[in-house]
A = this chain, B = another copy of it.
Amino acid sequence: MTLTGKMLIGQHATAGNREAIQAINPATDSALQPAYLGGNGEHVAQACALAWAAFDVYRETSLEVRATFLETIAAHIEALGDELIDRAVAETGLPRPRIQGERGRTCGQLRTFARTVRAGEWLDVRVDHAQPQRQPLPRPDLRQRHIAVGPVAVFGASNFPLAFSVAGGDTASALAAGCPVVVKAHGAHPGTSELVGRAVAQAVKACGLPEGVFSLLYGSGREVGIALVTDPRIKAVGFTGSRSGGLALIQAAQARPEPIPVYAEMSSINPVYLFPAALAARAEALAQGFVASLTQGAGQFCTNPGLVIAVQGPALDRFISAASGLLPNCAAQTMLTPGIASAYTSGIDTLTGHAEVVAQGSATEGPNQGQAHLFVTQATAFLSNEHLQAEVFGAASLVVVCANNEEVRRVSEHLEGQLTATLHMDDDDVPSARALLPVLERKAGRLLVNGWPTGVEVCDAMVHGGPFPATSDSRSTSVGTAAIQRFLRPVCYQDFPDALLPDALQQGNPLRLRRLLDGQREA
């Protein structure tokens, strides 16, 4: 398939007329063809008009039609074959197996949402039958279902060019909910975005859906991004990226005449707690696991372990020493973009001014190389210096040495909201872990024992979310089947004749849902 450099406004390939976006192969710093001319407000308006026109039809498609659509997208992405893999590798500098795995994750995610759509639990159907004899007043017949909120704007992320981008988790969950999607492609991987976008558009056509169900735009955040978030036909936003980027979108969404929710996943340093018994038993093994998690994918994960918290002592010294011994064997890796590489370098420079560098990875030739860094500081310094909990996106981590459990708790209470918190512990650590748990539950969306936070499973129980600034809405997750709930709202139907009720609410329960029926869950 030849890349066209064009946007997709519904089924129409449309060239932009603003400044060109061109991918850079970060491994070589060379530009990749074609150039993608940015769109403008008019293109945004066209895409939103189509999305709006599609909305009432798309949101009422049957569960089967919508599930099949998601599966068809997955099949069309797989049909892109090596072309997609080659392009994504070239645009991101990520290793080929990583991109192949991510494609599997992306298509698996679409199929998981297809299953979720079919199961229909997201409709959350509740039926309270009329009680005409009730005193002092009769009760009417009341039935609730959930419907899609409206067209959703999705902003692709740089670090997962497939799984958090054009047909990633935000798009999959919004489409599953019944929301048309307008994607603003991330400028770092426009070719990957075009390939995937065309796969989605083909699936729209193959399934006979209105073309406005999906559009793909290119352009600047300031012009296309803000126009998208402020278009009155857009009713929710999904975003994964920087804190500043997320906050700008939230501000724009709040300033609308009709404010809308923005689900922004922004920044997290993912504290890892090393409890004394675990540390004493296996400081060196922990260091090995830690360094592997830290340096995976050049550390470019939202769940990268950027903070290690432990009580001082010989066991912690062993951990630091072992990690410091391993780090020089870790070769620098190509980062996603020149911008990310230079932000990483300047983040490292800032941290170096505030904490002690105890180890770093080895340098490699070539542009945009990210060298792992390990820092150490004392809890007292951490508690008084906000620079020390700023996210440095990449393979940088800071060990915070605490005098005792009380200081561990103070450091924990001082943390901003996080996506994850990890506990390395043995049986003897259970009391300390139990005491800390309430703090961690308040601070993070996912808590792990004896694992590493990188690696986010797509399943029912996953929470990839957490209190601000990890995300803008701690009540939600952006990964896993519960992500669909972000794009739904409840509607109640009172005393409706059966013929006018949507299928999900009809007396005969044609969708065979397990309803909450007069206060009882159906078996």
Contacts and interface: CB of A to CB of B under 8 A. Distances in A.
Interface-central residue, A147, A461, A467, A516, by most chain B CB under 10 Å: A461
Interface string A281-298: 000000000000000000
Contact of A460 (B147, B430, B446, B516): B516
A485 to B, nearest CB: 8
Interface string A450-469: 11000101011111010111
Interface string A134-163: 001101101110010110000000000000
B494 A127 contact: no
Given A140-B451, A430-B497, A494-B451, A489 B475 contact: yes
Contacts of A495: 448-451
A56 B438 contact: yes
A463 B490 contact: yes
A143 B259 CA distance: 33
Contacts of A121: 516, 521
Contacts of A475: 149, 261, 488-490
How many chain A residues sit at the interface, stated as a range, is 35 or more
Contacts of A492: 445-447, 461-463, 477
A451 B137 CA distance: 13
Contacts of A467: 258, 489
A433 interface: yes
A140 B482 contact: no
| Copies of this chain present | 2
B144 A449 contact: no
Nearest to A251: B254
A498 B442 CA distance: 20
B127 A461 contact: yes
Contact of A258 (B147, B461, B468): B468
Interface string A303-323: 000000000000000000000
B521 A460 contact: no
Interface in A62-112: 101
Contacts of A460: 126, 128, 144, 516, 519
Given A447-B494, A451-B495, A475-B490, 19 more contacts: A60-B438, A115-B519, A126-B460, A128-B461, A137-B455, A142-B462, A147-B441, A250-B259, A261-B473, A261-B475, A434-B500, A441-B491, A449-B494, A460-B519, A463-B491, A463-B492, A476-B490, A477-B490, A482-B490
18 contacts: A126-B482, A128-B462, A140-B451, A142-B457, A142-B459, A254-B254, A430-B499, A430-B500, A433-B500, A441-B491, A445-B491, A446-B494, A448-B495, A451-B495, A474-B489, A475-B490, A477-B490, A482-B490
5 interchain residue pairs of minimum CB distance: A463-B492, A142-B461, A126-B461, A144-B461, A448-B494
